[in-house]
Amino acid sequence: MLNGRHFLHVPGPTNIPERIIRAMTTTMEDQRGANFPKFTKPLYEDLRKIFKTKDGTVFIWPSSGTGSWEACLLNTLSPGDKVLTSRFGQFSMLWMDMCKRLGLDVIDIEVEWGEGVPLDKYAEHLKNDKNKEIKAVLACHNETATGVTSDIEGVRKVLNDTKHPALLFVDGVSSIASINFEFDKWGVDCAVTGSQKGLMLPAGLGILCVSKKALEATKTSKFKKCYFDFQDMLNTNPDGWFPYTPALGIMYGLRESLNMISEEGLENVFKRHHRLAEGVRQAVKGWGLKLCAKEKKWESDTVTAIYVPEEFDSANVIKTAYLKYNLALGAGLSDVAGKVFRIGHLGDLNELMCLGAISGAEMAMRDVGIDIKPGSGIAAAEEHYRETAPALPND
């Protein structure tokens, strides 16, 4: 039993603010009650602001992000359709794997972990696809396993430059509501997210934003689907209803989450994430360690994956931090298991919370014998936060 608060610094689930916890601690209501649409309709409106879309259609599934991946594929494509994907971490790999398991014909570009979506290779495949057989292009906006953010606007540009009509599907599970995301401007056709990351909620909602073009594609889709059929949602959602019992408790939390984001201002939320992330990166520099992200342009503002020196096992750092300091760090997954640990820095966070995670990681690394100068990371982060923290309001 450890006293005090638990430091949750995995990149999802993230910390749930008190306001949201209170909003969710309530009795249920009749989801067919006359007043229910007054609650649901504004949720869609406010989610469209998060996605930055005017006309996109938003669906809220009782599911996790993985369910939104599946909903996106099943409703817009047909078995055997060709899709262009790339993998450079656990999550981009899993979505690619889902495509294969569903029977899609997958162009599967393997990229070194630490890099992101390979625009040049995408351009090559799209240019060579003379018969326009590629029906969809998949891109993981923020690869949570490696702390790598990709250039989605760049993917759109490649599609435009090659005049390719493929749909653009983006996994934004660990970016949306934390890192700038522009559904309309980037011409995204399906954007996938979930509740337990930037939206500061428990897991349990899969959220999907869909373009007109993707809705059009549902007419020719030949996949069998039932629970995730867009049509059942389209028949009921516009009037504020659901085809089945929605996850009411989390949706009350979502209402509060969207209020909080709107009060802070979405652009300020992005700036805060950038500032906090930069402090974590300064700490890594102070330790003299290496990021998993290979270049500055790939660095993620929601999660940082850090290599431990080769002779050490990162799992021991994570275990020590957890058992000794009540700090949950993210594990290294698949290819980087034992090699990296991750500090999640998204959602409800401030400078001192990040310093808690940095300090705990620093102590745990020293405990397992890694030669880190005490205070080296924490000092670097502190200086960054001191220099960049906004002054008190009305000061």
Ligand X SMILES: *Cc1c(COP(=O)(O)O)cnc(C)c1O
Under rule CB under 6 A, residue 376 binds ligand X: no
Residue entry with tokens 């001192």: 352
Under rule CB under 6 A, residue 333 binds ligand X: no
Give min distance, CB of 89 to ligand X, in A: 8
Q: Is 136 helix (H, G, I), strand (E, B) or coil?
A: strand
Give min distance, CB of 306 to ligand X, in A: 17
* Residue among 144 and 282 whose Cβ is closer to ligand X: 144
Q: What angle do CA 106, 62, 94 make, to 5 degrees?
A: 25
Site size with ligand X, rule: CB under 6 A: 13
Under rule CB under 6 A, residue 70 binds ligand X: no
Under rule CB under 6 A, residue 314 binds ligand X: no
Under rule CB under 6 A, residue 91 binds ligand X: yes
3-state secondary structure 38-92: HHHHHHHHHHHHHHCCCCCEEEEEECCHHHHHHHHHHHHCCCCCEEEEEECCHHH
DSSP 334: G
Under rule CB under 6 A, residue 279 binds ligand X: no
Under rule CB under 6 A, residue 236 binds ligand X: no
Under rule CB under 6 A, residue 64 binds ligand X: yes
* Residue among 144 and 221 whose Cβ is closer to ligand X: 144
Backbone angles phi, psi at 358, to 5 degrees: -65, -45
Which region among 61-69, 129-137, 286-294, 325-333 touches ligand X (by CB under 6 A)? 61-69
Among 12, 253, 344, 360, binds ligand X (CB under 6 A): 12
Under rule CB under 6 A, residue 316 binds ligand X: no
Among 75, 86, 149, 174, binds ligand X (CB under 6 A): 174
Element at 211 (helix H, strand E): none
Under rule CB under 6 A, residue 62 binds ligand X: no
* Residue among 12 and 332 whose Cβ is closer to ligand X: 12
Under rule CB under 6 A, residue 66 binds ligand X: yes
Please tell me the distance from the alpha carbon of residue 47 to that of residue 240, in angstroms, as a whole number: 14
Give min distance, CB of 171 to ligand X, in A: 5
Under rule CB under 6 A, residue 10 binds ligand X: no
Helices (H), the chain: 18-24, 36-51, 65-76, 90-101, 119-128, 152-161, 212-217, 230-236, 248-264, 266-287, 314-325, 351-367, 376-388
Give min distance, CB of 79 to ligand X, in A: 23
Question: How far from the centroid of its chain's Cα atoms is residue 51's Cα?
Answer: 12
Under rule CB under 6 A, residue 330 binds ligand X: no
Under rule CB under 6 A, residue 347 binds ligand X: no
Q: Is 247 helix (H, G, I), strand (E, B) or coil?
A: coil
* Residue among 146 and 320 whose Cβ is closer to ligand X: 146
Under rule CB under 6 A, residue 171 binds ligand X: yes
Name the pairing type of β-strands 190-194 and 205-210.
Answer: antiparallel
CA-to-CA separations, 269 to 9, 50, 295, in angstroms, rounded: 18, 11, 24
Please tell me the distance from the alpha carbon of residue 32 to that of residue 165, in angstroms, as a whole number: 40
Under rule CB under 6 A, residue 73 binds ligand X: no
* Residue among 61 and 287 whose Cβ is closer to ligand X: 61
Please tell me the distance from the alpha carbon of residue 369 to that of residue 191, in angstroms, as a whole number: 43
- From first CA to last CA, the distance across the chain in angstroms is 41
* Residue among 305 and 365 whose Cβ is closer to ligand X: 305
Site for ligand X in 105-144 (CB under 6 A): 140, 142, 144
Q: Which residues bind ligand X (CB under 6 A)?
A: 12, 64-66, 91, 140, 142, 144, 171, 173-174, 194, 203
